[in-house]
Each structure stands twice: as structure tokens, then as C-alpha cells.
Amino acid sequence: MIRQLATAALCVASALIPLEAVAQPSFAPSGWDAALKLPEAVDRNPDPTIVEVDLVAREAEIEVAGKTVKAYTYNGTLPGPLIRAKVGNRLIVHFTNDLPEPTTIHWHGLRVPIEMDGVPGISQPEMQRGDTFTYDFILRDASLYWYHPHVMSAAQVGYGLTGPLLVEDPADGVGVTDQLTLVLSDIGFDSKGVLEPWDSGGPAGMVFGREGAYVLANGRTLPTLKARAGAPQRWRIVNTAKSRFFLLDLDGQPFHQIGGDGGLYERPVTSEVLLVTPGERFDVIIAPTGKPGTTMPLRALLYNRGYGSIQYRGVEEVLSIEFSKEPALKVPPAPTLARAITPPPREGATPVDMILTLPPAGADGNSEFHINGVPYWKAKPFLAKLGETQVWNIVNDSTFDHPFHLHGYFFMEVDEKGEPLRPMRWKDTVNVPLKQSVRVIVTFDERPGTWMIHCHILDHAEGGLMGVVQVGDKAAEHTHPKPPGPPMKHR
């Protein structure tokens, strides 16, 4: 359905703004993005409609900030290779686990069949070392997505196991030629390059959500991007950190948001800063400007996501933009794209309350996050009939933000009356700020199965803030995912 809407939207877009459909020339200096180049997965299928790649999860030595770090990787790189495809393509991934512990791959944000969702105990068995699995599905919606494990995910994502997946729509009408996929993350290691243990900081580390001290842009610390001042660039941004939020700032210059998790927005919206919480994606057009020959940082400003996130901390520089000597171009006006989006029908939608809490720590000093009074290992599934539309009232009664993620479906944010927030946009991860609530509407229109919901601060997820929605009547074999299990040591 969304694919049809996207097609309809294209007609609208080209009818309204024929100029946008014409690709602009490149304005970027040669080698402008060399320091941010992502490794790309090799498509070994000659059929232009099939992208067929190999991924191996394995430990590998990578360079970070001048140190050699033995990280968890896909194909030996951090982040894992960029998988590129066009909307409507079939993606086949031959995956091998060569890690010293079990893993799986979850395809974050994609409308995949349940068997391809990568959740152990629900959609596939855990893969032991040496196991292989073939993921095979159609890429139905254009956007930037990402892939990551769903076993010990706080540990494994923190150790480096993530990668981007870009599904392009060549006819999206955006027309900006200079494009960058920007994977934001962080990693922690000691002076010898040994990764910070997954359980560092104990229960307090879980409650805060562990952040690595090194901020990474496409796996590098503070890389330089070259640009011609005033020239437009299209950035597709994903935050793959397990806990860190990125409140991006380009010296107050505008971010024209044209899309997000589920593709283009109904219409663009302009903001001075851009908050990217774990799991979220944004599609933005920027035209950074400054004096030719100077540099300007992309910063991550302080953002209060709970106690400890702004105390004794500073602004981070994420990357540096180096303006070429060519004269600055006149900054282009805000883009005027349009996409026709039909919101889910709210008449008769079932209201569902989800209350997120952090009760006081137990006598043993351990803490748990709860949804509706229970951690995931005690939770019953939420239920939805096939075809049912639900309005979720997600109330955050805890003192930390929670980027809340649903597998397998896009939802839309709505107000207290159930009216879609404008511009309408499809999302799969939405931040629920501390002591606030967010409402979303979602239709479980197809693909019965057991689909996860969880906080994308992965320490919170494993600390209890997870659950499942059972869509359709077929009882799931297991009603909740495998608990994290006994502590596992890295190496």
C-alpha cells in the first residue's frame, strides 16, 4: 500500500514542481566525501532487480582514533558495508556467523516477512558460530535502513556490529546530486584498545544506557567533508549507537528535512537542529555556507535524555566541513517536494496504553524498566487482529527518554484527538521524552506474526523495556524473546 502511495506521491511531486525532478549538477569538490566513504557490499547477482550479497559477522582489528581495536564487524569493517538497492528489488543476504557467540541479523525498519525479522526465539533460531542463514525479501519502501543483531544486542551493537542499507527511489524527484550516507555511532575502549565491557557501570550503566567515548561518523573520528559553500547536499542520516543521542547543529544553519524512517515526508520541514535518537533516520537537504577556504563543524549539542546526559559533558564535533576556495553559491531556497500520504483510519481504532516506568532498584541493587508494570521477561504479548488499526498512547513515566521502536510496520504520530501531526511522516522509531507521552497510529494490515517493540537504547531494552505484539490469531511458539542469558565476556 505504501509503495502505491509513494508512486502516487511522485506524480504529485513532478506535477507540482517539475524543476525538482531535474537532477542538479554536482557542486562538490572532487574527492569531497573520500574521508567518509563507506565500504559497499558487492552485489554478485547480474540480475538488475536482485541484490545478492555476503555478510560475515566476525571479529576484526579496526583503526579508531589512532588505536587498533578488536571489534565485532560485518565483513571486517566498521560500520558494516553499505548495501545499496532500488525500491522494489529483491535482497538476498548470505549470512555467516563467525563470532565466538550466537547472533542474528535484524533488518531495522523494513516491512519483511516475519521469518526474515531476525529475532531469536520468535522468527529464527539463534545462529551459533559457523551457522549460515539466507535472508531473502523484497525492498518495498525507499528509505535508509540499517541492520544489526538481535542477540545480546546491547553488547554486540556496542562492539561494532551495525551496517547501513540504502533503498533508493531513482524517481523520487529530489534532484540533489551530491549525496552522503552518514552513519552516526560511538564506541568505547581503553588505552590498550580493548573494548569497554558490555556491562560496564553495572546497573547504573544499564539505567543510563552506555555510551562509548569515541563519536564516529562513518566509523571515523572527526573526518573532513569538503564542500563548496552554499551548495546543496543530501544527507541520509542514521544513528546506530546503542544509547547516544545526536542533537546535530550546523552553526544554526537550516536542516531541510525531506524524509525520515519511512521515506519522504508529506512535505519538507525546516529546523535549526536535528535530533537523531538511536535507530532513527533522517533525509535532509543542507547547504552549509561560510567563507571559502574556512571550516565549519557539524556538532552534537548537549541534549537532556536523563540524568547524566548533560552533567559534566561537552559539545562534540562529529565531522568537519571544509569549504573549497571557489566562491560561495547563493544558498538555495527550501525544497518544495510533496508526497501524498493517507493516514491509517482512526474511526474504530483500538486504543492501547503503554506505560514506561523505572521502579526503584531492588534490594540487590538491580533495576528493571517496565512496560505496563512488567519487564519483558514477565510480559504477555500485546494483541492485534490482522487488519486492525490501533492508537498507542506511549506514556513515559520514567526519568529517561526512550526511543521506541516497532518491528515490521510503520506508524504515524498523532495528537490527543488522533489527528496526524503535520507534515505526516511514516516512522518506526519515535523518541518518547522523559515524563512525556507520544501517540502513534498503526495498522497491522498484513504479515501476521510476533513483532517486537522495544526501546532502542539497547541497554534499556535488555533491562526490561521490550515486548511483542502478536498480530493475527496464530499463537506464537514463544511469546517473548530469549532473555539476555548469563553474562558473556567479550573474548
Residues that bind Cu ion (CB under 5 A): 402, 455, 457, 460
Minimum CB separation from ligand C2O for residue 266, in Å?
25
Of the ranges 28-36, 97-105, 305-313, 448-456, which one interacts with ligand C2O (CB under 6 A)? 448-456
CA angle 166-141-450, nearest 5°?
105
Of the ranges 120-128, 227-235, 449-457, 475-483, which one interacts with ligand C2O (CB under 6 A)? 449-457
Minimum CB separation from Cu ion for residue 150, in Å?
16
Residue 106 touches which of ligand C2O, Cu ion, none (Cβ within 5-8 Å per kind): ligand C2O
Q: Using the rule CB under 6 A, which residue among 84, 256, 402, 407 binds ligand C2O?
A: 407
Q: Does 490 bind ligand C2O (CB under 6 A)?
A: no
- HEC-encoded secondary structure of the chain: CHHHHHHHHHHHHHHHCHHHHCCCCCCCCCCCCHHHCCCECCCCCCCCCEEEEEEEEEEEEEEECCEEEEEEEECCECCCCEEEEECCCEEEEEEEECCCCCECCEEECCCCCHHHCCCECCCECCECCCCEEEEEEECCCCEEEEEECCCCHHHHHHCCCCEEEEEECCCCCCCCCCEEEEEEEEECECCCCCECCCCCCHHHHHHHCCCCCEEEECCECCCEEEECCCCCEEEEEEECCCCCCEEEECCCCCEEEEEECCEEEEEEEEECEEEECCCCEEEEEECCCCCCCCEEEEEEECCCCECCCCCCCCCEEEEEEEECCCCCCCCCCCCCCCCCCCCCCCCCCEEEEEEEECCCCCCCCCCCCEECCECHHHCCCEEECCCCEEEEEEEECCCECEEEEECCCCEEEECCCCCECCCCCCECEEEECCCCEEEEEEECCCCCEEEEEEECCHHHHHCCCEEEEEECCCCCCCCCCCCCCCCCCCC
Of residues 307 and 377, the one with the C-beta less far from ligand C2O: 377
The candidate with the shortest Cα–Cα distance to 38, out of 204, 209, 165, is 165
Q: Using the rule CB under 6 A, which residue among 452, 457, 465, 469 binds ligand C2O?
A: 452
Phi, psi (deg, nearest 5) at residue 90:
-95, 135
Interface with ligand C2O (CB under 6 A), residue total 10
Minimum CB separation from ligand C2O for residue 157, in Å?
8
Residue 366 neighbours by CB distance under 10 Å: 12
Is the separation of the CB atoms in 372 and 333 below 8 Å? no
Residue 405 touches which of Cu ion, ligand C2O, none (Cβ within 5-8 Å per kind): ligand C2O
Of residues 148 and 236, the one with the C-beta less far from ligand C2O: 148
Residue 407 touches which of Cu ion, ligand C2O, none (Cβ within 5-8 Å per kind): ligand C2O
Q: Does 108 bind ligand C2O (CB under 6 A)?
A: yes
Q: Does 481 bind ligand C2O (CB under 6 A)?
A: no
Interface of this chain with ligand C2O, residues 270 to 329, rule: CB under 6 A: 279
Minimum CB separation from ligand C2O for residue 320, in Å?
29
Letter for the amino acid at 484?
A: P
Of residues 209 and 230, the one with the C-beta less far from Cu ion: 209
Of the ranges 64-72, 267-275, 339-347, 450-458, which one interacts with ligand C2O (CB under 6 A)? 450-458
Residue of minimal Cβ distance to ligand C2O: 108
Of residues 339 and 405, the one with the C-beta less far from ligand C2O: 405
Q: Using the rule CB under 6 A, which residue among 220, 244, 405, 480 binds ligand C2O?
A: 405
Of residues 174 and 461, the one with the C-beta less far from Cu ion: 461
Minimum CB separation from ligand C2O for residue 127, in Å?
16
Q: Using the rule CB under 6 A, which residue among 84, 106, 299, 427 binds ligand C2O?
A: 106
Of residues 226 and 405, the one with the C-beta less far from ligand C2O: 405
> Is the bond leading into 297 cis (omega within 30 degrees of zero)?
no
Residue 148 touches which of ligand C2O, Cu ion, none (Cβ within 5-8 Å per kind): ligand C2O
Minimum CB separation from ligand C2O for residue 456, in Å?
6
Is the separation of the CB atoms in 121 and 148 below 8 Å? no
Interface of this chain with ligand C2O, residues 135 to 164, rule: CB under 6 A: 148, 150
Q: What is the CA radius of gyration of the chain?
A: 22
d(CA 176, CA 313): 36
d(CA 318, CA 247): 11
Of the ranges 221-229, 292-300, 413-421, 451-459, which one interacts with ligand C2O (CB under 6 A)? 451-459
Residue 226 touches which of ligand C2O, Cu ion, none (Cβ within 5-8 Å per kind): none
Of the ranges 293-301, 381-389, 392-400, 452-460, which one interacts with ligand C2O (CB under 6 A)? 452-460
Minimum CB separation from ligand C2O for residue 93, in Å?
16
CA angle 9-14-15, nearest 5°?
95
Of residues 184 and 434, the one with the C-beta less far from Cu ion: 434
Of residues 234 and 460, the one with the C-beta less far from Cu ion: 460
Minimum CB separation from ligand C2O for residue 214, in Å?
21
Of residues 337 and 471, the one with the C-beta less far from ligand C2O: 471
- Residues in contact with ligand C2O by CB under 6 A are 106, 108, 148, 150, 279, 405, 407, 452, 454, 456
